[in-house]
Chain A
Amino acid sequence: MIPALRLEGVTFSYGPVPALENLSFSIAPGERVALLGKNGAGKSTVVRLVAGLERPDLGAVWVGDWDTRDCVPEQLAWRVATVFQHADQQLFAPTVRDDVSFGPRALGVGEREVERRNRRALEDLGLTAHAGDHPYDLPPALRKVAALAGALALEPALLVLDEPTIGLDRVLRARVTRALLDRSAASVALLVITHDLTFAAETLERGVVLDRGRLACDEPLAGLLGDATRLEPLGLVPPPVAALSAALDLPGRPVREAEVARELARVARGRPAP
């Protein structure tokens, strides 16, 4: 099976200092990957390369079987939907519904299909009630979610999100998690830059960690997130739930809230009363 995304020996510099050096990793359809690392590690550069906004100096970026060096961003939009930080600044249509439709329409999708995708994206993110609102009448958090809806409506094979949860509260974060998990189950691959490791634990399954432009580690989040000794040198801190799981040595060392709660309950039940 062709990976949804493949980086092969990618090296890229904006100026004299390389932003990325010899970076290689791939994402299978339906796989959910967190792109982690300190500020300045090169994560946003990866996003720009995948979206086709930059071309690698060395190596190649493959979106499906398309080499990004042969494509322009508007072509790549057929396969990859990117939501940048501050995406709420890209909204412009008179209603949320129109703005979400913008992407599919730009790709030339038929009206009935646009309608279907629209409805699905808005429903998945709980925005149906706001479909007729002007984007700037919504609070910033909902505008961010509306921008994400626009990406979902493109129904891409790969979703690339740059910090999708900044400014969102628990309820909205849970909605985003739910929507992303649903898409992933339908074989959409996810690449998410986030410094919210709690969100990563709930939503994503694998962590690609960058350190000064190089690949520092690429492995399942389940093992990584609870391990402070591995995360510390990478400038990361275990999210509390994963840290709890490790500290209490829960069986299986789960990192997701529901699983940790279940294990807590099980272990507590099995213990003698204090």
Chain B
Amino acid sequence: MSRLHPFTLLAIAGSLPALAWILPAPAGGAWAAAVALVLTLTPGARPGFTSVFRTAVLTAAPFWLFLLLLHDVPTTVAIGLRITTMVASFVWLVATLEPARLVEAMVAAGWSASIAYLLAATLSAVPVLKARARRIVEAQRCRGLSPRGGIAARLRALRALALPLVLSALHEVDERALALETRGLVPGIRRTPLAPPPDPALEQATRWALLLGCLAALVWRFVLPRLT
């Protein structure tokens, strides 16, 4: 999966949620969500990502609970499936899209290196933050923090885990900006592609097909009824 051209991955991850929202619920949403979840089960996740499927499900679950509190069952299912599609597509994208390949693809297509890195840095942040989160959990456990206990205890624990992660990450944003500058990101210079991802005609066609498919669905769903 990760061997596909980055733009193809983006197209897939973009069109699934789009179709989920455009097509009539619940069938449209169910179909799109199913495809997205099946994608999360396919191998091809880059290092640092274990069980993409589980992550997708666990991230989407709280939304379902929230919806259930606010809406009746049919509405919950309709919106829930759409949100699930969005979440699953995004999680799949982050796990499958290699930042380096995205940068290479964007630069080869003429985008400026700085913008490419901005996008790629978002994707590459995840494994780094995961690794740091793990280290922080370990350090706090070694200071006596127990992940078990009642609600109050767990909330306290969450604070001791989330705050250091956020604080140290924020603190490092400045340093990261500085550090990336040290690696030669000078505006105006065209980066040398080291290994631009191949872009077979089939994939280009698929991307166009997906785009046209979304547009067609849009027209079918919203424009045609007004005309007839």
* Cβ contact within 8 Å between A154 and B167: no
Known: A102-B160, A136-B171. A89 touches B136 (CB 8 A): yes
- Taking the nearest CB of chain B, how far is it from the CB of A95, in angstroms? 13
Interface string of A20-62 (1 = CB under 8 A from B): 0000000000000000000000000000000111000000000
Q: Which residues of A contact B142 (CB under 8 A)?
A: 51-53, 73-74, 76-77, 80-82, 84
Q: Which residues of B contact A150 (CB under 8 A)?
A: 143
Q: Which residues of A contact B141 (CB under 8 A)?
A: 53, 72-74, 77
Tell me the B106-154 residues at the A interface (CB within 8 Å): 132, 135-136, 138-147
Known: A73-B138, A136-B171. A90 touches B164 (CB 8 A): yes
What's the Cα separation between A62 and B141 when bound, in Å?
19
* A89 contact from B143, B146, B168, Cβ within 8 A: B168
Tell me the B187-204 residues at the A interface (CB within 8 Å): none
Q: Which residues of B contact A86 (CB under 8 A)?
A: 135
Q: Within 8 Å of chain B (Cβ to Cβ): is A103?
A: yes
- Taking the nearest CB of chain B, how far is it from the CB of A7, in angstroms? 18
* Cβ contact within 8 Å between A84 and B139: yes
* Cβ contact within 8 Å between A74 and B139: no
Tell me the A82-111 residues at the B interface (CB within 8 Å): 82, 84, 86-87, 89-92, 102-104, 106-107
Interface of B is mostly: helix
Known: A89-B132, A92-B164. A106 touches B139 (CB 8 A): no
Q: Which residues of A contact B167 (CB under 8 A)?
A: 91-92, 136
Q: Within 8 Å of chain A (Cβ to Cβ): is B163?
A: yes
Q: Which residues of A contact B145 (CB under 8 A)?
A: 74, 102, 106
What's the Cα separation between A263 and B20 when bound, in Å?
82
* Cβ contact within 8 Å between A90 and B139: yes
Q: Which residues of B contact A80 (CB under 8 A)?
A: 142
Q: Which residues of A contact B171 (CB under 8 A)?
A: 136
Tell me the B12-33 residues at the A interface (CB within 8 Å): none
16 contacts across the A-B interface (CB closer than 8 A): A73-B138, A74-B145, A76-B142, A77-B144, A78-B144, A80-B142, A82-B142, A84-B142, A86-B135, A90-B139, A90-B140, A92-B159, A104-B144, A106-B143, A106-B144, A136-B171
Known: A82-B139, A92-B159, A136-B171. 9 other contacts (CB 8 A): A53-B138, A72-B141, A74-B141, A77-B142, A92-B163, A104-B144, A106-B140, A150-B143, A154-B143
Question: A: which residues have CB within 8 A of B?
Answer: 51-53, 72-74, 76-78, 80-82, 84, 86-87, 89-92, 102-104, 106-107, 136, 150-151, 154
